[in-house]
């Protein structure tokens, strides 16, 4: 393995382990017939070129990457309702296998672009043949509406190399407000939505039993 592969190996391990753990939480909620605050989970390790570009932009020495670059490992937990975000945050704070290092609430204090999400930086121990390695990982928690907007904004940033035209930025801000309003409206009927989902889940389980 080359130097970068060795360096990134514990980050890959952390992402895969955390994805399994968070998906297991979702499955436990589903089996209990309770509303699951987790809709889906994704994760990635930042590519080497992106790490180098960010290190240069932020003036981070390569030997300090493991302490100063907090998003080499990244996970995203997507949920249905804004209230689910609070549930997930409390859940993560209470875990004894991770240590929350910092939190940023971009929902209450959105970015000027319109971006909304809840960010947590955690310390996670990875067990390797050479002992325990502690790696930093960033967890982004957001609703499906927030995630849709952020995905589009990311694509446009890539297209325009970070220099999105002003008229497109204005449309993005309006779209972000529309997504937020959608979340607000869905939150008002979340009890009805959850009840409907519970009925559907129960009927599926009953049908499974019928065909055994």
The answer to whether residues 89 and 37 touch, using CB atoms and an 8 Å cutoff, is no
Extended beta strands in 46-176, E state:
73-79, 99-105, 118-128, 131-143
Q: Are the CB atoms for 132 and 126 separated by under 8 Å?
A: yes
Cβ-contact 52, 72 below 8 angstroms: no
Residue that has been written with the tokens 């955390």 in this structure: 18
Instruction: Tell me the backbone φ, ψ of residue 59, rounded to 5 degrees.
Output: 60, 50
Facing residues of 53 across strands? none
- Answer yes or no: 138 catalytic: yes
* Pairwise CA distance, residues 189 & 204, whole Å: 23
Residue with tokens 């310390």: 123
Cβ neighbours of 138 (radius 10 Å): 20
Q: Which residue among 103, 109, 130, 138 is the active-site one?
A: 138
Contact call for residues 103 and 97 (beta carbons, < 8 A): no
Catalytic positions, written as ranges: 138
């Amino acid at each position: 393995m080359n130097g970068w592969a060795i360096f990134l190996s514990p980050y890959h391990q952390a992402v895969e382990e955390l994805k399994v753990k968070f998906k297991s939480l979702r499955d436990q909620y589903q089996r209990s017939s309770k509303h699951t605050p987790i809709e889906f989970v994704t994760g990635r390790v930042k590519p080497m070129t992106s790490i180098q570009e960010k290190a240069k932009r932020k003036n981070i020495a390569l030997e300090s990457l493991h302490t100063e670059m907090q998003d080499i490992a990244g996970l995203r937990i997507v949920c249905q309702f804004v209230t689910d975000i609070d549930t997930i945050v409390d859940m993560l704070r209470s875990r004894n296998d991770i240590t929350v290092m910092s939190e940023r609430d971009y929902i209450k204090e959105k970015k000027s672009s319109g971006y909304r999400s809840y960010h947590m930086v955690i310390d996670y121990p990875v067990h390797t043949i050479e002992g325990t390695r502690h790696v930093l990982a960033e967890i982004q928690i957001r609703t499906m509406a927030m995630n849709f907007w952020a995905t589009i904004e990311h694509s446009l940033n890539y297209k325009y190399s970070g220099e999105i035209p002003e008229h497109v930025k204005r449309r993005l801000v309006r779209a972000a407000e529309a997504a937020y309003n959608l979340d607000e409206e869905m939150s008002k009927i979340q009890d009805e939505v959850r009840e409907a989902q519970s009925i559907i889940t129960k009927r599926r389980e009953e049908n499974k039993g019928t065909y055994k």
